[in-house]
Structure 1
Amino acid sequence: MKYKFTFAFLLSLGLAVSCSDDDVVTTTVEPEVEYTSGSADFSTYVALGNSLTAGYADAALSIQGQEDSYPNLVAQRFQLAGGGDFSQPLMSDNLGGATFSGVQILDNRLILSFATGSPLPVNISGSPSTEITSTLSGAFNNMGVPGSKVFHLGVEGYGNVAGVPTGMANPYFARFASSASASVIGDAMAQSPTFFSLWIGNNDILSYAISGGVGVDQTGNYDPSTYGSNDITDPAVFASVYNGLLQTLTSGGAKGVVANVPDITTIPYFTTVPYNPVPLDATTAAQLNYGFTSYNQGLQLMFSYGLISEEEVAQRTITFSEGSSNALLIVDEDLTDLSSYGIPNYRQTTSEDLVVFTAQTIIGTTVNNDATMVNGVSVPLADQWVLTPQEQTAVATAQASFNATIEGLAAQYGLAFVDAEEVLQQLANGGISVNGSVMTNTYATGGAFSLDGIHPSARGYAYLSNVFIEEINTTYGSNLPSINPLDYTALYLE
């Protein structure tokens, strides 16, 4: 009998083994890989950022989400090349909700329920055991704080409800801040990090976008203490604060990786609900058109007065028809104000409008149980339910400025740079192939996003971890192995 032992390193050793000419048995032994950190030092890794860093998913923060967070997955690879322990301020359970002095203030996470026969995202039942006032002790490597904007990271007392300006106190940071007067960056630097990741800036435009543009574009206002929670951060403020964060983080010689801000209008939160979801029979369509006759005639009168253009008349004219694809009726504050003439700022949505995910809870519902008063049909949707083209432009302009700052400073400080913007564009334009499977930005079935339509799924976070690892390897000469995203779930079911 002939035996042949084949090793992955056989040729390099110049060895060959053979016996007789009978059966052949082949055995493969993989060589042990020696992982290296290259020019980086992973011994003390600290991750700073917002919900994307914390592991937020399915509209909540849970233990499972934190364990699947990209920093935790990256830290596991760091440990192969000298990385130390990675501590996280874990929630108390997997429900994701939280209480403040016994009163629930944060909702439980979403799961996909089939209780009604049709799949619907619902909050998982149960009483959460995470109490915000029960503070955690110790230093934590994952300093991701859901809801934080770039200028929040340096706010002293950011977790102290009574000690900071209105709207800036954060219950997540309250749980693990080292003191009532602590700042996120201060607690991070207290650990003397040798390596850091910084992914911040999403909320500086996201809160404005998901509110349907209810907030204010604060470009030109350099005092963030005056900002509302849904406002867009001034680009100059963003650049100054971001540079200050990197100055602080690198002051002790630490190396790191930063990521830019993706195009948030490509996420399922803005791409799931169509602009024209209204089904009407011929009778109802005719009744609606009759009801808007005086409004449409008023627009023609305003045109004859020279107050609005012919193009705006066409934009504002309300028309319904028999079929399943009627556009929604909305209020658009960017239209010419004709209120002094008794004409409201009404129009119907177009394919350029983005209807927010949560609008599906109100579209088609009635006002005071009056069947003639239907939201989105005979009653216009308020500004909060639609991100208009003008509002999208404000978001895109700020994002472009933020990203130019991030990429420029990454080069200035010699840091690894992750192009998260490119990742989301790939998801939105054909998807990303992952070991024979394809991830897209399609809600629930695309695999990349969780049920809140904003944050990645566990599988999405695993893929992002690989993007971070790849850029770290390229920049610092490390050889950290990648992760198989298919080992992580894309969707949590009831």
Structure 2
Amino acid sequence: MKKINFKYNWLPVLFIGLVACDVNNDLDPIKDNTPEVPEVALTSGTADFSKYVSLGASFTAGFTDGALFKEGQKNSFPNILASKFAMDKGGDFSQPLMNDNIGGMVNGTTVALDPRFYFNGSAPVRLTAVPTTKIGFPADNAPSFNNYGIPGAKSFHFVAPGYGSAAGLATVPATANPYFVRMMPTQSTLLAEAASKAPTFFTLSEVGGNDVLDYAVAGGASGAITPKATFDAAFGAIINTLTAQGAKGVVANIPYITTLPHFTAVPYNPVPMSAASATASNQGFALYNAGIVQAFTYLVANTPMTQDMADIEIAKRTISFSEGNNAVVIVDKNLTDLTAINPALKSYRQTTSEDLLVLPSSSFIGTTVGGNPLLVNGVSVPLEDKWVLTKKEVDAIKDATDDYNTTIKAMADSKGLAFVDFNVILQNAATAGLQFDEYTLNTSLIFGGLVSLDGIHLTARGYALMANKMLEAIDDKYGSNFKKATKGLAKAADYPTNYSPALPN
């Protein structure tokens, strides 16, 4: 706030005048009529927060801006919850803090996991500093931790033996997770390690998210969506183990990850063209378009394919540009294979509004191959499968998410646990936005306030909102009063949406 400086030269004159007059200068004190707000003590209801353990993946860890780093971990939703639980007999809460605020890890002298993003005024960019956290080396205070949020963990990893073994980091493919290894576990599985802390209360969040996320960020070109039966078995083991000794807890489901800006920030039609450029590009695809028509004419005449079926695919595969913004050209492996008819007829088409270009494509589309101005990625050179999620792939992710969430809700209900529908919450954020104190948060990249610079994980303010949703669910299920207690909920203004590149370590 700007400070205003007043001149006080008139005060001595006024004082002399008042002394010379025979008046009563004793003024009544100004009364503060602001009503006092009585403090409301926190009560835990039937919940026991004395030994709180959190179990999950990257959201639980406090992963943000593309990395795990100390300040982000301090603003993880479990750490926020623990600070509120401490208001009524909540115990200490220990996290496997990284060595710095750079984020990422090194393997010897090689950067194995990248540092965090920061906003440079125009776009998210990675810090150029070298991480100081070393793969395979223990975190401070290992193995005495409460936060078992492991970035990258899929549902079946929670019950996989050796997931925390340093030897598993050297196998190909790796069978261990470097974030879990640095926790120096004493038990054979991640689930057993968390359960060995004998929690009286737990949070279980985003289990299943990585089961679809790896496939999604690869554009469906690699990885695989975890089958429902595998997920159900793993999640059942987790719930049964955590509640076996009577612990209470809160469970959150997983969102439709394709509503996150990693999949929505790049429009399907990001290629601007002049009329002349569009004409030149159309000429370049003229033979291809004609060959498509000829190939389907052949298929209609010689196979059970009908003309209606052929017309639909011809329209889908015809490449056409015009002045203004244009859809990119992609490879779609789900199209009819025409190479047996004509080897030059690859499975090309242009994107539609139902396709999702992944965030890294924004810096690739429009680049040239070998500096040749005629070979433009996304125009004359179709994008590989890894750059785009087709509608069929988006639908597969949604179906799997629905299956997982059905299991999560049913098992949470069967154990009488509190439940948070994070999927609905994120959908609301992506449409109308979410009100959090004086702020409206949405899923826009950089300035939406909810999702961090990597386009997938939350900001500190987003994690504070997540913590509040869990506290409200705990109130509803266990009779606590976080919503009414003084300082019972996190305040939006206490948590940032972007971290400075100059955070001290």
Structure 2-normalised TM-score?
A: 0.87
Match of 1:157 in 2: 162
- Deviation, 1:387, is 0.5
Pairing 1:194–2:200 present: yes
Say which SS state the counterpart of residue 182 (structure 2) adopts.
helix
Given candidates 221, 240, 243, the residue that maps to 1:247 is 240
Match of 1:35 in 2: 42
**8 Å Cα contact 2:49/2:89 also seen in 1:** yes
Pairing 1:97–2:90 present: no
Structure 1's 23 and 97: CA in aligned 2 closer, same or farther, altered over 3 A?
closer
In our comparison, the structure showing a higher alpha carbon Rg is 2
| Correspondence list, 1:72-221, <5 A | 72-114=79-121, 119-136=122-139, 137-160=142-165, 162-163=167-168, 166-179=173-186, 182-199=188-205, 200-215=207-222
Cα distance in structure 1, aligned partners of 2:327 and 2:411: 44
Specify the code of the residue in structure 1 equivalent to 2:320: T
Structure 1's 398 and 382: CA in aligned 2 closer, same or farther, altered over 3 A?
same
**8 Å Cα contact 2:256/2:398 also seen in 1:** yes
Match of 1:346 in 2: 348
**8 Å Cα contact 1:102/1:131 also seen in 2:** no
Pairing 1:311–2:312 present: yes
**8 Å Cα contact 1:352/1:388 also seen in 2:** yes
Cα distance in structure 2, aligned partners of 1:287 and 1:367: 18
- Deviation, 1:210, is 1.1
Specify the code of the residue in structure 2 equivalent to 1:171: P
Cα distance in structure 2, aligned partners of 1:449 and 1:106: 21
Match of 1:483 in 2: 490
- 1:306-361 per-residue CA deviation (whole Å, 9 max, x = no partner) reads 256100000000001122x1110000001111121221000000111111101012
**8 Å Cα contact 2:102/2:115 also seen in 1:** yes
Match of 2:62 in 1: 55
- Deviation, 1:87, is 0.1
Match of 1:391 in 2: 393
Cα distance in structure 2, aligned partners of 1:27 and 1:392: 55
| Correspondence list, 1:4-15, <5 A | none
Poorly superposed stretches of 4+, deviation over 6 Å: none
- Deviation, 1:368, is 1.1
Cα distance in structure 1, aligned partners of 2:53 and 2:386: 36
**8 Å Cα contact 1:139/1:187 also seen in 2:** no
**8 Å Cα contact 1:260/1:407 also seen in 2:** yes
Structure 1's 245 and 165: CA in aligned 2 closer, same or farther, altered over 3 A?
farther
Cα distance in structure 2, aligned partners of 1:366 and 1:486: 44
Cα distance in structure 1, aligned partners of 2:321 and 2:30: 78
Match of 2:443 in 1: 441
**8 Å Cα contact 1:152/1:168 also seen in 2:** no
- Deviation, 1:177, is 2.9
**8 Å Cα contact 1:134/1:175 also seen in 2:** yes
Given candidates 421, 431, 434, the residue that maps to 2:433 is 431
RMSD: 1.6
Identity of counterpart residues, as a percentage? 46
Structure 1's 423 and 27: CA in aligned 2 closer, same or farther, altered over 3 A?
closer
After superposing the two structures, state which structure 1 stretch, 450-459 or 425-434, moved more.
425-434
Given candidates 273, 276, 288, the residue that maps to 1:280 is 273
- 1:177-229 per-residue CA deviation (whole Å, 9 max, x = no partner) reads 324x63211111111111111111111111111111113xxxxxxxxxxxxxx
Structure 1's 336 and 161: CA in aligned 2 closer, same or farther, altered over 3 A?
farther
Specify the code of the residue in structure 2 equivalent to 1:127: V
Match of 1:360 in 2: 362
Structure 1's 134 and 406: CA in aligned 2 closer, same or farther, altered over 3 A?
same
Cα distance in structure 2, aligned partners of 1:79 and 1:383: 49
- Deviation, 1:473, is 1.1
- Deviation, 1:32, is 3.7
Pairing 1:330–2:336 present: no
After superposing the two structures, state which structure 1 stretch, 127-136 or 76-85, moved more.
127-136
Match of 1:451 in 2: 453
Structure 1's 271 and 25: CA in aligned 2 closer, same or farther, altered over 3 A?
closer
Structure 1's 390 and 23: CA in aligned 2 closer, same or farther, altered over 3 A?
closer
- Deviation, 1:279, is 1.2
Q: Give the paired residue count.
A: 454
**8 Å Cα contact 2:253/2:422 also seen in 1:** yes
- Deviation, 1:111, is 0.1
Match of 1:411 in 2: 413
**8 Å Cα contact 2:164/2:190 also seen in 1:** no
| Correspondence list, 1:255-266, <5 A | 255-266=248-259
**8 Å Cα contact 2:162/2:175 also seen in 1:** no
**8 Å Cα contact 1:68/1:458 also seen in 2:** yes
- Deviation, 1:297, is 0.8
Unaligned 5+ segments in structure 2 are 1-27, 483-487
Specify the code of the residue in structure 2 equivalent to 1:133: G
**8 Å Cα contact 2:136/2:166 also seen in 1:** no
Cα distance in structure 2, aligned partners of 1:78 and 1:159: 29
Structure 1's 281 and 85: CA in aligned 2 closer, same or farther, altered over 3 A?
same
**8 Å Cα contact 1:271/1:354 also seen in 2:** yes
Cα distance in structure 2, aligned partners of 1:435 and 1:27: 21
Match of 1:376 in 2: 378
Structure 1's 283 and 134: CA in aligned 2 closer, same or farther, altered over 3 A?
same
Say which SS state the counterpart of residue 375 (structure 2) adopts.
strand
After superposing the two structures, state which structure 1 stretch, 137-146 or 96-105, moved more.
96-105
**8 Å Cα contact 1:177/1:184 also seen in 2:** no
Unaligned 5+ segments in structure 1 are 1-20, 216-229
- Deviation, 1:436, is 2.6
After superposing the two structures, state which structure 1 stretch, 230-239 or 373-382, moved more.
230-239
**8 Å Cα contact 1:113/1:493 also seen in 2:** no
